[in-house]
Amino acid sequence: MEKKVYSIDGKELRTINLDDKVFGLPVNEDVIYYAITNELANKRVGTACTKTRAEVHGSNAKPYKQKGTGHARRGDKKSPINVGGGTIFGPKPRDYSYSIPKKEKRLAMKSILSLQAQSDRLTVVEDFTVESGKTKDLVKILNNFAKDERTVLILKDDDQKIKQAARNIQNLYFLSYNRLQAHTLFYGRKVIVLESAAKNLSEFYTKLDEKKSGATTAEAK
Protein backbone atom coordinates (compact mmCIF):
# COMPACT_ATOMS: atom_id res chain seq x y z
CA MET A 1 0.00 0.00 0.00
CA GLU A 2 1.32 3.41 -0.97
CA LYS A 3 0.85 6.42 1.28
CA LYS A 4 1.93 10.03 0.88
CA VAL A 5 4.50 11.39 3.32
CA TYR A 6 3.86 14.97 4.44
CA SER A 7 6.15 17.60 5.89
CA ILE A 8 5.32 19.21 9.23
CA ASP A 9 3.91 22.12 7.19
CA GLY A 10 1.37 19.80 5.56
CA LYS A 11 3.10 19.70 2.18
CA GLU A 12 3.47 16.46 0.22
CA LEU A 13 7.09 15.27 0.09
CA ARG A 14 7.16 11.70 -1.27
CA THR A 15 5.41 8.36 -1.05
CA ILE A 16 6.11 5.40 1.20
CA ASN A 17 5.28 1.73 0.70
CA LEU A 18 3.49 0.31 3.71
CA ASP A 19 3.57 -3.45 4.25
CA ASP A 20 0.23 -4.99 3.24
CA LYS A 21 0.71 -7.64 5.94
CA VAL A 22 0.33 -4.86 8.51
CA PHE A 23 -1.64 -2.06 6.80
CA GLY A 24 -3.52 -3.93 4.06
CA LEU A 25 -5.26 -6.81 5.85
CA PRO A 26 -9.00 -7.49 5.81
CA VAL A 27 -10.46 -5.95 8.95
CA ASN A 28 -11.32 -8.58 11.57
CA GLU A 29 -13.98 -6.88 13.70
CA ASP A 30 -14.33 -9.79 16.14
CA VAL A 31 -10.64 -9.78 17.09
CA ILE A 32 -10.68 -5.98 17.49
CA TYR A 33 -13.64 -6.29 19.86
CA TYR A 34 -11.88 -8.95 21.96
CA ALA A 35 -8.68 -6.87 22.19
CA ILE A 36 -10.48 -3.68 23.25
CA THR A 37 -12.64 -5.53 25.79
CA ASN A 38 -9.49 -7.17 27.19
CA GLU A 39 -7.70 -3.82 27.61
CA LEU A 40 -10.67 -2.21 29.35
CA ALA A 41 -11.11 -5.19 31.67
CA ASN A 42 -7.41 -5.12 32.59
CA LYS A 43 -7.70 -1.45 33.56
CA ARG A 44 -10.50 -2.07 36.05
CA VAL A 45 -9.32 -1.74 39.64
CA GLY A 46 -12.06 -3.98 41.02
CA THR A 47 -12.21 -2.25 44.43
CA ALA A 48 -16.01 -1.92 44.68
CA CYS A 49 -17.13 -3.40 47.98
CA THR A 50 -20.45 -3.65 49.82
CA LYS A 51 -21.24 -5.05 53.27
CA THR A 52 -23.37 -8.10 53.86
CA ARG A 53 -25.67 -8.30 56.88
CA ALA A 54 -22.88 -10.05 58.77
CA GLU A 55 -20.51 -7.09 58.19
CA VAL A 56 -22.89 -4.20 58.94
CA HIS A 57 -22.34 -2.69 62.39
CA GLY A 58 -25.37 -2.99 64.65
CA SER A 59 -27.21 -5.02 67.23
CA ASN A 60 -28.09 -8.66 66.70
CA ALA A 61 -31.16 -8.34 68.89
CA LYS A 62 -34.52 -9.28 67.48
CA PRO A 63 -36.43 -5.98 66.96
CA TYR A 64 -39.83 -7.40 68.03
CA LYS A 65 -41.36 -10.74 68.87
CA GLN A 66 -41.88 -13.38 66.21
CA LYS A 67 -45.68 -13.55 66.32
CA GLY A 68 -48.64 -11.41 67.15
CA THR A 69 -47.53 -8.03 65.76
CA GLY A 70 -49.06 -8.32 62.30
CA HIS A 71 -45.67 -7.55 60.76
CA ALA A 72 -43.39 -9.88 58.84
CA ARG A 73 -40.98 -11.76 61.08
CA ARG A 74 -37.58 -10.15 61.39
CA GLY A 75 -34.33 -11.43 62.87
CA ASP A 76 -32.36 -8.20 63.38
CA LYS A 77 -32.16 -4.63 62.11
CA LYS A 78 -29.28 -5.50 59.77
CA SER A 79 -31.66 -7.37 57.47
CA PRO A 80 -31.22 -6.42 53.77
CA ILE A 81 -34.85 -5.28 53.57
CA ASN A 82 -34.16 -2.54 56.15
CA VAL A 83 -32.70 0.87 55.37
CA GLY A 84 -29.06 0.72 56.46
CA GLY A 85 -29.05 -3.07 56.38
CA GLY A 86 -26.71 -5.35 54.48
CA THR A 87 -26.58 -5.68 50.70
CA ILE A 88 -27.65 -8.88 48.98
CA PHE A 89 -25.25 -10.15 46.29
CA GLY A 90 -23.36 -6.82 46.22
CA PRO A 91 -19.93 -6.43 44.59
CA LYS A 92 -16.79 -7.55 46.39
CA PRO A 93 -13.14 -6.75 45.48
CA ARG A 94 -12.06 -8.92 42.58
CA ASP A 95 -9.55 -9.08 39.75
CA TYR A 96 -11.19 -8.45 36.36
CA SER A 97 -8.01 -8.91 34.31
CA TYR A 98 -7.49 -11.80 31.92
CA SER A 99 -5.19 -12.58 29.02
CA ILE A 100 -5.80 -13.28 25.35
CA PRO A 101 -3.45 -15.10 22.95
CA LYS A 102 -0.55 -12.97 21.70
CA LYS A 103 -1.33 -13.97 18.12
CA GLU A 104 -4.88 -12.67 18.54
CA LYS A 105 -3.66 -9.37 19.98
CA ARG A 106 -1.18 -8.86 17.12
CA LEU A 107 -3.93 -9.54 14.59
CA ALA A 108 -6.15 -6.99 16.34
CA MET A 109 -3.46 -4.28 16.12
CA LYS A 110 -2.83 -5.01 12.45
CA SER A 111 -6.57 -5.00 11.76
CA ILE A 112 -6.96 -1.57 13.40
CA LEU A 113 -3.96 -0.18 11.49
CA SER A 114 -5.45 -1.58 8.26
CA LEU A 115 -8.85 -0.08 9.09
CA GLN A 116 -7.37 3.37 9.73
CA ALA A 117 -5.19 3.22 6.61
CA GLN A 118 -8.00 2.04 4.34
CA SER A 119 -10.42 4.67 5.65
CA ASP A 120 -7.88 7.46 5.01
CA ARG A 121 -7.70 8.42 8.66
CA LEU A 122 -4.01 7.51 8.81
CA THR A 123 -1.44 10.14 7.79
CA VAL A 124 2.32 9.61 7.51
CA VAL A 125 4.42 12.62 8.50
CA GLU A 126 8.17 13.10 8.27
CA ASP A 127 10.09 12.57 11.50
CA PHE A 128 10.09 15.56 13.80
CA THR A 129 10.58 16.53 17.41
CA VAL A 130 9.76 19.61 19.45
CA GLU A 131 13.10 20.86 20.73
CA SER A 132 11.53 23.68 22.72
CA GLY A 133 9.10 21.33 24.46
CA LYS A 134 6.43 24.02 24.09
CA THR A 135 2.81 23.16 23.49
CA LYS A 136 2.25 25.95 20.96
CA ASP A 137 4.98 24.55 18.68
CA LEU A 138 3.37 21.12 18.61
CA VAL A 139 -0.11 22.57 18.13
CA LYS A 140 1.15 24.48 15.10
CA ILE A 141 2.29 21.20 13.51
CA LEU A 142 -0.85 19.24 14.44
CA ASN A 143 -3.19 21.91 13.07
CA ASN A 144 -1.93 21.08 9.58
CA PHE A 145 -3.40 17.57 9.90
CA ALA A 146 -6.12 17.54 12.56
CA LYS A 147 -8.24 20.13 14.33
CA ASP A 148 -10.48 19.61 17.36
CA GLU A 149 -10.74 15.84 16.92
CA ARG A 150 -9.43 12.82 18.79
CA THR A 151 -5.88 12.41 17.46
CA VAL A 152 -3.38 9.60 17.99
CA LEU A 153 0.32 10.25 17.38
CA ILE A 154 2.48 7.15 16.86
CA LEU A 155 6.12 7.82 17.75
CA LYS A 156 9.29 6.06 16.63
CA ASP A 157 10.65 6.10 20.20
CA ASP A 158 9.94 7.47 23.66
CA ASP A 159 10.38 11.15 22.70
CA GLN A 160 10.16 13.10 25.96
CA LYS A 161 10.15 16.49 24.22
CA ILE A 162 7.00 15.64 22.24
CA LYS A 163 5.36 14.20 25.36
CA GLN A 164 6.22 17.34 27.31
CA ALA A 165 4.70 19.53 24.61
CA ALA A 166 1.58 17.34 24.37
CA ARG A 167 0.67 17.28 28.05
CA ASN A 168 -1.80 20.17 27.81
CA ILE A 169 -3.36 19.30 24.45
CA GLN A 170 -6.89 17.99 24.74
CA ASN A 171 -7.85 14.86 22.74
CA LEU A 172 -4.23 14.05 21.82
CA TYR A 173 -2.86 10.61 22.62
CA PHE A 174 0.60 9.29 21.80
CA LEU A 175 1.78 5.71 21.44
CA SER A 176 5.12 4.10 20.70
CA TYR A 177 5.14 1.82 17.65
CA ASN A 178 5.99 -1.24 19.80
CA ARG A 179 3.45 -0.52 22.57
CA LEU A 180 0.17 0.12 20.78
CA GLN A 181 -3.17 0.15 22.57
CA ALA A 182 -6.19 -1.20 20.72
CA HIS A 183 -8.75 1.08 22.42
CA THR A 184 -6.79 4.30 21.87
CA LEU A 185 -5.87 3.42 18.29
CA PHE A 186 -9.36 2.28 17.28
CA TYR A 187 -11.17 5.37 18.57
CA GLY A 188 -8.71 7.84 17.07
CA ARG A 189 -10.46 9.98 14.47
CA LYS A 190 -7.04 10.90 13.06
CA VAL A 191 -3.90 8.77 13.32
CA ILE A 192 -0.59 10.52 12.63
CA VAL A 193 2.37 8.17 12.16
CA LEU A 194 5.96 9.37 11.98
CA GLU A 195 7.75 8.05 8.90
CA SER A 196 10.27 6.01 10.90
CA ALA A 197 7.48 4.65 13.10
CA ALA A 198 5.62 3.44 9.99
CA LYS A 199 8.71 1.53 8.85
CA ASN A 200 9.31 0.20 12.35
CA LEU A 201 5.72 -1.01 12.60
CA SER A 202 6.13 -3.11 9.46
CA GLU A 203 9.41 -4.59 10.68
CA PHE A 204 8.15 -5.14 14.23
CA TYR A 205 5.04 -7.13 13.32
CA THR A 206 6.73 -8.98 10.45
CA LYS A 207 9.51 -10.17 12.77
CA LEU A 208 7.02 -11.28 15.41
CA ASP A 209 5.02 -13.25 12.86
CA GLU A 210 8.16 -14.87 11.43
CA LYS A 211 9.38 -15.76 14.92
CA LYS A 212 6.02 -17.33 15.74
CA SER A 213 5.82 -19.29 12.48
CA GLY A 214 9.41 -20.50 12.97
CA ALA A 215 8.60 -21.76 16.45
CA THR A 216 5.50 -23.54 15.15
CA THR A 217 7.52 -25.24 12.39
CA ALA A 218 10.15 -26.38 14.90
CA GLU A 219 7.46 -27.88 17.14
CA ALA A 220 5.92 -29.72 14.18
CA LYS A 221 9.28 -31.35 13.40
The predicted structure's pLDDT at residue 114: 93
59, 61, 67, 69: CA torsion to nearest 10: -50
Rounded to whole angstroms, how far apart are CA atoms 52 and 44? 23
Does pTM surpass 0.75?
Answer: yes
Domains and CATH numbers, the chain: 2-34+101-220 (3.40.1370.10)
Tally Cβ neighbours within 10 Å of residue 197.
23
How confident is the model over 107-134, as pLDDT tens digits?
999 999 999 999 889 999 998 888 888 9
The predicted structure's pLDDT at residue 13: 87
